[in-house]
A and B are shown apart, each in its own frame.
Chain A
Amino acid sequence: MNIAALASVSLQRQSSALRVWRGSCQADVWLAAAREVAEGGGRLVSLWGCDRRDGAGSGHFIVSAALATGDGLLCLELPLTADNLIYPDLTPHFACAPRLQRTIYEMLGLDAEGATDFRFWLNHGDWPGDYFPLRREASAREDLSGHEVVDYPFIAVEGDGVHEIPVGPVHAGIIEPGHFRFSIVGEKILRLEERLGYKHKGIDKRFETMPPLQGHRLAGRVSGDTTVAYAWAYCMALESATGIEVPRRALALRALMLERERIANHLGDLGALGNDAAFALGLAQFMRLKEDWLRLNDRLFGHRLMMDCVVPGGTEADLDAEGVVALLAQCNAIECEVRALRDLYDEHAGLQDRFIACGRVTPKLAARLGLTGMAGRASGIAVDLRADFPVPPYADPEVRMATHRNGDVAARVIVRFDEIVESLRLIRHWAAALPEGPIRAEMACPQAGFGIGWVEGWRGEVMVALEIDCGRIRRCHCHDPSWQNWPVLEHAVIGDIVPDFPLINKSFNLSYAGHDR
């Protein structure tokens, strides 16, 4: 890890195939390192706090930043002293920082010095502002009733003919809850402000009650559509903390499931995008393919969404020869169908008219705002952990990253189509040559340790930071790429018309559950 600001800091490399370094430093070095990473084109993957006080008066609060550099992931910890619970504001360097910082305050009462937005984000007023659930003294069992939801001070747009449309939290469809406040003139969107947090369930606190060997189940339910990526990231963190090696066959199976999850989501979203542009045939066809896909998941792995299929030390289910045959046959069949549907989408003038130039995020804007994952790749941000920092079995074969530069709905559709074909290629490759051997290594619960898991889920990079102390989970932080991309959606819709919002929103399909946690 080559960062000048960290010359005097000792960094430790995590014991896993993943390129992760960890170190602790003081505020000035912490800020300088973050600035250096930002200037070098790196990104802030996540920012979180932890209460490491031991109850006997020693230990600290910690703020950790996970920074992605060209070398790998740098996890930099900043210990805070009890009489000065502040840390430097990262907003000037990373556009995604403000909401993460607001959340750190709500969870632990730690303040970003210099930040300007103090509105509560995940706490809607249902519990007192000075109740910090992730502090050790909070039990999560307190009686918090009797608190009224407070009005959220949205930023108002003023001017001739400007009016507001509030939408949500309950939407007119089978959609997760969240609130959108549009300021519009005529039909044109001048400004969108999101309000999220409705699904906040206190997962981070819940982790403290889970045995470490069971935590993958909860991690796999942070965002159900990304369950494989989360469970894998959790297991990766736990396995690095323990230092055990996962059998090669299990790694191949995990990757196979991760790619199946990617394809399932792309199939569903491509159908829904057709539907949002009034092409119902697209929905019916893609939903049919997705159902076939999920049924085979059920048959092969015992669960349609593959929940709890990735477990500490390996995987739950194995693939037999018959399963491999079924899997390969389905890959071929789906590929034919997807190619045919792609032709239909490409040639349908009405669809293309709705897709092209809609919800555009230019590469420049994407870089400035830190757009990540699949949506980032559709805006020229060529980042994909599977290609950049491949862990086995990803280097073989190498992942051909799908990118586009237009950054509109059409580009996100193209990237999704390309990613389906690429994932099919990977699945076929691994399935045809599954390494022999066990699918699970014996694992004992570690007494103490720290590990990070970092996985390219279908939406973007999922990160799990796990801290174990006295055989229990002290802190498990699960980060969803939606944290990065929700703020970008506010920009993507500017200048478009309100009826295009569902289409634009769907083209990103960000997670409410994964964000609200």
Chain B
Amino acid sequence: MWKILHRIAKTGIVSEPSPALDDGGAECTQIGAELLTILGRALTIREVDAGSCNGCELEIHALNNPYYNLEGYGIKFVASPRHADMLLVTGPVSRHMAFALRRTWEATPDPKLVVAVGDCGRDGGPFGEGYASLGGVDKVIPVDVVVSGCPPRPVELLRGILAAVRRRSP
């Protein structure tokens, strides 16, 4: 047990900003603060993988690491669309996932936000459209904000989430 405590103490708090990191650390903190001002409450996000290569998922996972400290700003990934304010959707929408995506969107309470992630979420990206790929997320559900990139970096994802929240703030 004391080894665990030792490790916690030794690691300290790594959440950005940290002067040594030139990776938009300060920007993350600022985005977080702004989110908090606009929303004034927690933001809950349901992630839906509608056919990605799983690269975008890796970066969305990274958002949850201690550097970005997402939960510290009250942004939380939830397990059910019924608990979500926002859908974060990756991938070109595969024909097989269109139905599940639409159902997830319908299950999300209004007013809901949709952020399409990655070049694939934007327009199908490298997979384009074909017999099994429908292309961008907006082919199936309405999209508020697109975050381009392949995959977008975590800080770009944060910017996209903020942009979507701003759109809906009075």
A residues with a Cβ closer than 8 A to B are 124, 126-127, 131, 133, 138, 140-142, 144, 149, 169-170, 172-177, 197-203, 205-206, 209, 217-218, 221-225, 227, 268, 281, 284-285, 287-288, 290-291, 294-295, 298, 304-305, 307, 340-341, 343-344, 347-348, 511-513, 516
Contact = CB atoms under 8 A, between A and B. Distances in A.
B61 interface: yes
A512 B79 CA distance: 19
A201 B127 contact: yes
A200 B7 contact: no
A344 B7 contact: yes
11 contacts: A127-B95, A173-B47, A177-B97, A198-B97, A201-B92, A206-B130, A217-B126, A221-B125, A223-B53, A224-B53, A295-B21
Contacts of A344: 3-4, 7
B85 to A, nearest CB: 16
Nearest to A197: B96
A contacts with B: majority SS: loop
Nearest to B15: A288
Interface stretch (B33-41, B62-70, B160-168): B62-70
Contact of B153 (A127, A172, A304, A347): A304
Contacts of A142: 131
A169 B100 contact: yes
Interface residues of B, number: 51
B105 to A, nearest CB: 11
A285 B7 contact: yes
Given A126-B96, A174-B49, A344-B3, 9 more contacts: A126-B132, A131-B131, A173-B77, A199-B51, A202-B132, A224-B53, A291-B65, A340-B7, A511-B54
Interface centre among A126, A144, A174 (most CB of B within 10 A): A174
A348 B7 CA distance: 14
B7 A176 contact: no
Contact of A347 (B3, B50, B80, B133): B3
| Max chain B Cβ within 10 angstroms of own Cβ: one of A298, A305, A511 | A305
A285 B67 CA distance: 11
A295 B77 contact: no
Contact of B23 (A173, A202, A295, A340): A295
A372 to B, nearest CB: 19
B142 interface: no
A170 to B, nearest CB: 5
A133 B104 contact: no
B66 A201 contact: no
Interface in B1-39: 3-4, 7-8, 11, 14, 21, 23
B100 A170 contact: yes
Nearest to B56: A224
Interface in B92-132: 92, 94-97, 99-100, 104, 125-128, 130-132
Nearest to B78: A172
A307 B153 CA distance: 13
B57 interface: yes
B77 A198 contact: no
Nearest to B5: A281
| Residue from B50, B55, B77, B133 whose CB has the most chain A CB atoms within 10 Å | B55
A174 B57 contact: yes
Contact of A305 (B47, B55, B79, B95): B55
Contacts of A205: 130-132
A133 B99 contact: no
A176 B49 contact: yes
Contacts of B51: 177, 198-199, 201
A203 B64 CA distance: 30
A152 to B, nearest CB: 12
A239 to B, nearest CB: 21
B158 to A, nearest CB: 14
B11 A221 contact: no
Given A200-B96, A281-B7, A347-B3, A288 B54 contact: no
